[in-house]
Amino acid sequence: MFYKAPDLFQPLYTSPVELEVRALTELWVELAGIKKAAKYARSTIDDPLAVETHKILRRYTKRLATRIHEKALELPLYRMAVERFGLKGATLAYIISRDTIVFKTLSRTGLETRYELFRRRWKSRGLRSQLLIRLAYATVTHRNQRYPAIYECYLRRGKKRWRAILRVAERILRDVRRLAMEAQEAGQAPA
């Protein structure tokens, strides 16, 4: 059963804050999916109720994302990522609340394999990989202080935009892993 759905099993040493952030981010993922469906319905159906539904879902999704950010600031690894790299949001909270131990144990290529940054044409990307790519795209779009330079450098080399976004996602994984390793060496247990 563990091999089919390993994310359902939670380690015994997770903190209550981490469990609360996990629950909130699960709700956020579901609400974001419903919001996407409501946006599609708003554009295809000419009904004022569809427009109102989309507005309400958008507002609640934004409120939930700010609540997740406030709660996730209690997690040391998330707080260090916000302070050092300027990364924040529900996607980063989702990634960190689930994979704090993985960042300390897996190698760089192991993390890239876990987050499916190596493309397999016969299989679609998992939720974890999709959220990491969305985080990378958001950092490039919102002109984060660190990652747009990597994106532009990759574009100047003649690479496509998609490959450049994957390169930024790869760099985000490396940076968060480095933070987790530094915190572990300093004796601070990132929860």
- Percentages helix, strand, coil for the chain (3-state, rounded to 5) are 75, 0, 25
Can you give the pLDDT at residue 105? 86
Cα(134)–Cα(92) distance, rounded to whole angstroms? 10
User: The tokens 């994310």 sit on which residue?
Assistant: 7
- Angle at the Cα of 33 from the Cα atoms of 18 and 88, rounded to 5 degrees: 45
Cα(66)–Cα(118) distance, rounded to whole angstroms? 32
Q: What is the pLDDT of residues 91-112, one digit of tens each?
A: 999 999 988 888 888 888 888 8
Cα(110)–Cα(104) distance, rounded to whole angstroms? 11
Number of Cβ atoms within 10 Å of the Cβ of 59? 11
Alpha helix segments (H runs only) across 45-126 = 48-72, 76-85, 90-105, 108-114
Can you give the pLDDT at residue 9? 58
Q: What is the pLDDT of residues 16-75, one digit of tens each?
A: 888 899 999 999 999 999 999 999 999 998 889 999 999 999 999 999 999 999 999 999
Confirm if 154 and 167 have CB atoms less than 8 A apart: yes
Instruction: With a cut of 90, say whether residue 189 has pLDDT above it.
Output: no
pTM: 0.84
Parse the chain into domains and list their residue ranges.
15-185
Structure tokens at 60: 């609640």
Minimum mean pLDDT among 18-22, 117-121, 173-177: which range? 117-121
DSSP E strands: which ranges in the chain?
none
Structure tokens at 79: 């707080």
| pLDDT average, residue stretch 112-118 | 86
Structure tokens at 64: 């939930």
Instruction: With a cut of 80, say whether residue 11 has pLDDT above it.
Output: no
Can you give the pLDDT at residue 61? 94
Look at 71 and 7; give whichever has higher pLDDT.
71
How buried is residue 127: exposed, middle or buried, by Cβ count under 10 Å (0-12/13-18/19+)? exposed
Can you give the pLDDT at residue 53? 93
Structure tokens at 142: 């919102």
Look at 4 and 154; give whichever has higher pLDDT.
154
Can you give the pLDDT at residue 6? 61
